[in-house]
A and B are shown apart, each in its own frame.
Chain A
């Protein structure tokens, strides 16, 4: 799907964001973090990953693993828009008869592995990457990590192994939205200099604007081929991106809006005025 124009990519991302907003009611969802990675997911699924709804059982496919599982709405929205399952199914969000709950799982077509507990899917991805390498496959494994998730020791444990086993087919994308659940990363557990940390662990590392499709295209096109190091792309993003009323606000992580607020936020997404929000802030799940 590398043929999409910039306008089409942006339109698709707006559609995914609208799905996320619609899921932020009737129980709610982790909206802020979903909006920070919406562009990344759209870019990866349309312009980088060699995967499609028809190839889900193909051992030669690329793998995408959402390690920061609370971004499930963005993943659900992206998969639905791209035909992995009907868009109408998104209306079943949080309904017990379906599987579209707060964290992703394999009952949702296109989801490779369940997540939710942070710090897990890099190691799962390393196992997949090791097997691909063992079989001489050309497919790649992309793992999306949150920056807050980098607090987890298992991330760094796995990086040691990935470097030792020269897993150059393992691509880590960090959704660097500067926030963890309740606080800015740099005020709670500072990560900077982050690129230097990955490099010190033997990774190849680059940074990119995670909301700029052209920059993402250039960055991912120029990833080193046949690398013997794990690759890391730090994507600088904004939590709540697309909705100025919640952008970069620590108290808008898990959001459960009224139906009226959702309508106003959808208008805001399309360029309307910032929606006045009165729902309780910072509902931490």
Chain B
């Protein structure tokens, strides 16, 4: 497998003249591309709004712009440009948000994109890809860039701890564990901790179903409904505000199907997280595998006792 996002993006760009790489001076993941792509690499400077408008203009000319910026500034500073110039016409602009969620580490709340999924999925036409790790990102990238719709890509470079299903389809979750007691639904950078937590729970005799959602829009409704019907507790784990993310998606879906079931949403409820390096964030916020497993176990046992 290609080792890096940059290499995969370059491959796609070399195979398709229409692809252009844009950035609002966020080059961390694409440092080598200016040299390789020449004028098909466009750094607009620290101008998220202008970059999105320019991306729309390029798309009108038949290009496929892949636009990079920090997730917080891409989805919020430029939100109205995304909604108006990309969302309304449904132009195939791909928005890559860097260091979303807990990946912003010690930057502080200015940089914490914890509402990016809520904002992006709320825009008609815009699709949302939230890979679990770098491998998952690389597996999904060709399909997402090749799709004719606009997409938000919640970038992550966390290393994979599992071998992912190489078949990627928008709206199709990846089933990693089968189980009947607890379903854990997860996306994005917390996949690693969720997977380890699921294994711990399994070792203690709890039968866990683990789903990596991959795309949150379209979302795999069938997989979520199956998990809800089959298990006794549905857990959502996300590095996102409680409002508008996976928990909300699940709640909307279950309500539509008149399903009322026990859930445990793990998310940030009306607050930002403590700025720190990633291991400290995970520890302080109770998001390590051990903490997650413990939280799920307590909730599950309370349910069984009731």
Contact = CB atoms under 8 A, between A and B. Distances in A.
B53 A122 contact: yes
Interface residues of B, number: 28
Contacts of A153: 49
B89 A131 contact: no
Contact of A134 (B40, B49, B51, B89): B40
A150 interface: no
A161 to B, nearest CB: 5
Interface string A70-113: 00000000000000000000000000000000000010000011
Given A106-B89, A113-B89, A114-B88, A127 B54 contact: yes
B47 A160 contact: yes
Interface in B135-158: none
A131 B61 contact: yes
Nearest to B57: A127
Nearest to B78: A154
Contact of B54 (A113, A117, A161): A161
Interface string A116-144: 01011111111111111010000000000
A132 B61 contact: yes
Contact of A130 (B49, B57, B62, B84): B57
Contacts, number: 89
B55 interface: yes
Contacts of A131: 57-58, 61-63
Nearest to A117: B84
> Which secondary structure dominates where chain B touches chain A?
helix
Interface in B49-96: 49-63, 65, 80-81, 84-85, 88-89
Contact of A126 (B54, B59, B84): B54
Contacts of B60: 112-113, 124, 127-128
A27 B61 CA distance: 35
Interface in A148-168: 153-154, 157-158, 160-161, 164-165
Chain A, interface size category, equals 20 to 34
Contacts of A59: 61-62
Nearest to A154: B49
A106 B60 CA distance: 12
A165 B20 CA distance: 15
B44 interface: yes
Interface string A172-212: 00000000000000000000000000000000000000000
Given A158-B47, A161-B45, A124 B53 contact: yes
Contacts of B51: 123
B18 to A, nearest CB: 10
Contact of A123 (B49, B62, B63, B89): B49
Nearest to B93: A127
B53 A127 contact: yes
A112 B60 CA distance: 9
A122 B56 CA distance: 11
Given A117-B80, A161-B50, 15 more contacts: A114-B88, A119-B49, A123-B52, A123-B85, A124-B54, A126-B54, A127-B53, A127-B55, A127-B57, A130-B42, A154-B53, A158-B47, A158-B54, A161-B44, A161-B47
